Structure 1
Amino acid sequence: MLYLIEKLATAVRGGTREVLETAVDANAQRIFAQEIYECESHLRQSKQHLAQVIAEKLQLQRQMEAHKTKMAGKEDAIRTQLQQGNEAAALSLAETFAQQESWLETQQQQHEQLAAYEQRLLHTLKTAASKLEHYRAELRMAQATTHAQQAMGKLARHPAINSDKFTRMQDSLERIRQQHNAFDDRHEAMQQIDAYLNGEPTEKQQTQQRAAGVLARLRG
């Protein structure tokens, strides 16, 4: 019994998997587009984090420059005290200078670490942006291909309808041509009537006369 239950559970899992795969395949482009959107969102967040790192690095750089300026002034003060023979005052200033120098070294290491983070993040973002643009292009191509296939499918599914449409259009064209020909015939008939009433030769008679003239010219 347990064996059969396990088999049934396996069949249920298989059916669930098939349903999920079918749903995924049916929504493949929508899923792909959403994945691209989420990646773009993460990329924007990463850019904001990178901007924060760069801002902190720049702020630290300004602090270090200001501190270096102050330390240069303290060095001058120590030299002055030494020149004046004030060893105790010089030593006190030197202790403070040593503490500030240690702090500056720590800040310098932090600055270098932020600069390294910046470079790694820039490289990572550049690579991610390039890949993302590739997938954007693939999505546009997939969408265009889907539209083309849908159009081809509609044409393939309804060849008789399209053929019937062309037949009706040809019939309409023939009717228009008949109307034009009928108008030309009526116009020619009116010209013949007017020529007869005015005692003028009809177009057909004029043609016959010209033909007779050609024959006469060739005989001569």
Structure 2
Amino acid sequence: MSVIKKLVTLLRGSARELGQSMVDANATRIYEQEITDAKASIGQAKTELTGVMAQQMQTAREIERIKADVLRHENMALQALDKQKDDLALEVAARVAALEAELQAQTEAHAAYALQVSRLKDLIRSAEARVREHEREIGIAKTTESVYRATQSISESMGASGSKLTSARESLERIRKRHEELADRMAAAEELDAEFGHRALERKLAEAGIGEDPKVKAQDVMARLRARRASLALPAPGAAGPADAGASAA
């Protein structure tokens, strides 16, 4: 029997945990439904309030009617007394007493309805204020939950894309290394060409004074130009020619 009791207790505990987990998972939805139910109850209370207010209005009209009836009967009783019809005046007075008793009952009922209306209005206003407060809280709760979901989604996305970003960085690093290797190869090729290739031979000839020197070629060009100028007998800039000398003598 003790084993059976423990099994039953275990099932009850499992059911409680399952129910609690379901409540926790749907807390926002349950909260919203409770607010909806509260608003429906407030609507029902307003409907009942209109009924009480209608009865209050009816008693108010009934009070005014009874007051007018009492005044009319009092006038008739006075008229009977004026005509010395005391028996008739007594009957009318009895009717006035009955009307006054009815007036008293209607006045008390009207006061009771007024008190109920006032209390119901206070309760409805209080309930509506609490519902508005809960609606603000559920709005904040939903926003917070959305932020948590977005944060979790971003975290998961970053975690999932972390390997992709790492792979992309590795690819860029491989490309950079390949470019550096190509640059090193080109520099090495230039160095080998300067040491063993055609440019190496030209450098060695220049160092030995063999071959054409650009400076020498430039001096040859200048000498050729001077000789040509002398053959043409051109006066040097600033020097006076034969015509200029004759003009000076005159």
Q: Fold-level match, TM-score > 0.5?
A: yes
Quote the residue 1:216 is aligned against: none
Alignment gaps of 5+ in structure 1: 172-220
> Are the counterparts in 2 of residues 155 and 162 from structure 1 also a CA contact under 8 Å?
no
What is the match of residue 92 of structure 1?
Answer: 91
Counterpart of 2:147 in structure 1 is: 148
Distance (Å, rounded) in 2 between the aligned partners of 1:78 and 1:118: 39
Task: Confirm or deny: 8 A CA contact 1:60 1:107 kept in the other structure.
Answer: yes
The equivalent residue for 1:194 is none
* Rg larger in structure: 2
Letter in 2 for 1:19: L
* Count of matched residue pairs: 167
Q: Which amino acid aligns with 1:106?
A: A
For 1:1-220, list aligned pairs within 5 A: 2-160=1-159
Q: CA shift at 1:83, angstroms?
A: 2.1
Give the superposition deviation at 1:77.
1.0
Which structure's relative contact order is higher, taking Cα pairs within 8 Å and 6+ residues apart? 1
C-alpha distance in 2 between matches for 1:123 and 1:85:
57
In 2: Cα distance, 1:162 partner to 1:90 partner: 105
Give the Cα–Cα distance (whole angstroms) in 1 for the partners of residues 43 and 161 of structure 2. 49
Larger mean Cα displacement after TM superposition, 41-50 or 122-131: 122-131
**Structure 2: where are the runs of 5+ without partners?**
173-250
Aligned to 1:158, what secondary structure does the other structure show? helix
Supply the distance in 1 between the matched residues of 2:147 and 2:60 (Cα, whole angstroms).
Answer: 57
Extract structure 1 runs of 4+ deviating beyond 4 A: 160-165
Q: Deviations over 1:136-161 (max 9, x none)?
A: 11011111111111111111111156
Percent same amino acid at aligned positions?
A: 27
* Equivalence for 2:208: none
Write the deviation string for residues 1-59 of structure 1: whole angstroms up to 9, x where unpaired. x1111111111100000000001101100100000000100000000101110011011
Superposition CA RMSD, Å: 1.9
With the length of structure 2 as denominator, give the TM-score of the two structures. Answer: 0.63
Question: Residue 212 of structure 1 corresponds to which residue in structure 2?
Answer: none
